[in-house]
Amino acid sequence: MIRNLETNIFKILGVESKEIVMSRFFANCIKKDIRFLDMIAKEAYEDYEEIAGNEELDLEGIVVKTEYDFSDKIDDKGKKNKQNRVDIFITVNKKDGSKYAVYCIENKVYSLEGNKQTDRYVDLIDKNYGDYEHKYYIYLTADKSFYELTNKKFKRVYYWQLKKMDDSPLEEDFFDLFSKKNTEEMDKENKKIFSSDTIEDYIEYLLKMINGYYPTIAQNNKNIYASSGNYNGKKFCQISLRDLKFKSDLILEKKGDNGSNEDKEEKKLEFNIHLEVEEGKTFLHFETYPYFSKRTMESKYVNGENLYKKYQDIRKKIKNSKVIESLIDIINNSLKEEIIKFLVNEKNKLSDEVIIKLLDNDIKELSNVDLKREIADKLKVSTYNYRLTLVTFKIKDKEINYKLYFYFLIYVINYIKSKKEEINKIIQETEL
């Protein structure tokens, strides 16, 4: 990459995980040598025809853009969307002016696909660039991912595959930084981070495990996802299931302008249950979906004050229900048996042999561990009256085994899913 440096320039600058920086770097490599684009595309498409040396194409006029903004383009519903920026967008025309190929390259260093991101890009390109003879969708990534992309038209290409080009613009130190990791190496990394005693490392690890960076059960389950953020200067991670939503018959009528009821928009209130992990504590939250604050509900919706009261009543009844009582009882008494049963069930759903093997090892290890001592005795389980929370798990001991704690959290959120029918019944009864 840059010769005669003792270490990698990306690492020196601390930008090796910055997607915008890496996208601009790759775009520059493509501009300097179009064979670099051919190499990427050949890794994605077996039948790809190289454009370098193709005398019919206007290679001097190739357009390479980064963070290409689709906000002025129409999607499949005929609407403009302001939230779509393709990392690297390339168009190639023939010398006679006809349109030859469009390349949509989404560059993810270690993060995962955004909400239906690949679907949105395919729709926008089909709608706005349908007159191009060839369309190539490439998901360029540094990690050894297992999770499936939303749209199958996107083909995954790993950074380590870019080593195949003769006189590549990339030097060995680039591949040392973004090397292919085999399962054994990744498992060693798993164990190393599991032994960490900082919540920052733990949250980062949860994100990577759930979203498909490290081999584990969660990434193979498209239903589960995680996100992270900062609130009042504290880092937190949210873990949820896509189908863990609850519909109600409570009418949500949006007020018109100036607080009037004219031109009101009507829909029904929905709820969501998820985990929020922060330093020393994990909360099982019950919230409206999407989230509404008390102020928003009361000021923007008809009968908002009564709606908010119903919402609070529903949460209180769930918190005091047998569902939560049974969860606490499991934690205090039969935690290990329940988690092993859950993991075995998850393993039986999988087809990936590598992940099944890792999970088998974890189940065996778990069978020899006193979970009461490793988890339950190190938690303070509380249902105190915090406005969003059903249960709080407060870590009393920094020596908690984070690997087991991770499985515990995944078990908790799936336990709630198993009680969905009971929770729906509580919601319906409270609405009356």
pLDDT digit string (tens) for 172-215? Answer: 656 655 554 444 555 555 555 445 456 666 676 676 666 655 54
Average pLDDT, stretch 269-273?
92
Lowest-confidence pick of 101-105, 203-207, 322-326, 380-384:
203-207
CA 189 to CA 192: how far, in whole Å?
A: 5
Cα dihedral 211, 240, 335, 419 in deg (nearest 10) = -140
Query: Sorting pLDDT into bands at 50, 70 and 90, what band is 280?
Result: confident
Average pLDDT, stretch 377-395?
86
Q: Residue 133, by phi and psi: left (phi above 0), alpha (psi -120 to 50) or beta?
A: alpha
pTM of the predicted protein model: 0.59
Lowest-confidence pick of 41-50, 199-208, 415-424:
199-208
Tally the residues of the chain: 432
Provide the 10 A C-beta neighbour count for residue 315.
23
85-93/99-108 β-pairing = antiparallel
Backbone angles phi, psi at 14, to 5 degrees: 70, 30
Coil, strand, or helix at residue 276? strand
The tens digit of pLDDT for each residue in 133-177 reads 999 999 988 765 555 678 889 998 888 777 666 666 666 656 655
Residue 265, pLDDT above cutoff 80: no
The helix/strand count (H/E) of the chain reads as: 15, 12
Average pLDDT, stretch 1-19?
50
pLDDT value for 241? 84
Read off the tokens for 145.
């991912």
Q: What is the pLDDT of the chain when averaged over all its residues?
A: 80
Q: Are 359 and 351 in contact (CB under 8 A)?
A: no
